[in-house]
Amino acid sequence: MDSIDMLTTDELAKKLRITTVTLRRWVKAGQFPAPVRIGENSVRWRESTISKWLDQQTSSENPENAALDIEQDELAESLKIAKHKKATL
């Protein structure tokens, strides 16, 4: 069975280079995927869900987002590196 990589609010905000307040505001406004509740006071985001969202947001088919392709690629690479490091621990 494949492992499911999950990110905390702090981890995700750090990877996206935004504050946790901005992340929560985006979720509340419906501008960002909702997290998965894993406990009464605990939420996580699936890395695969975030990667798909980033792909949609930075699609070169959208002229407003074409310039973000490079940044998205860098973030995707960072996620892969982090995932690899976790797997080797």
- pLDDT, residue 68, reads 55
Give CA torsion, residues 70, 5, 81, 51, to 10 deg: -10
- pLDDT, residue 56, reads 85
Prediction pTM value: 0.63
Alpha carbon of residue 42 to chain centroid:
17
Structural domains of the chain, ranges and CATH numbers in brackets: 6-88 (1.10.1660)
Structure tokens at 2: 């494949």
- Decide if pLDDT at 1 tops 50: no
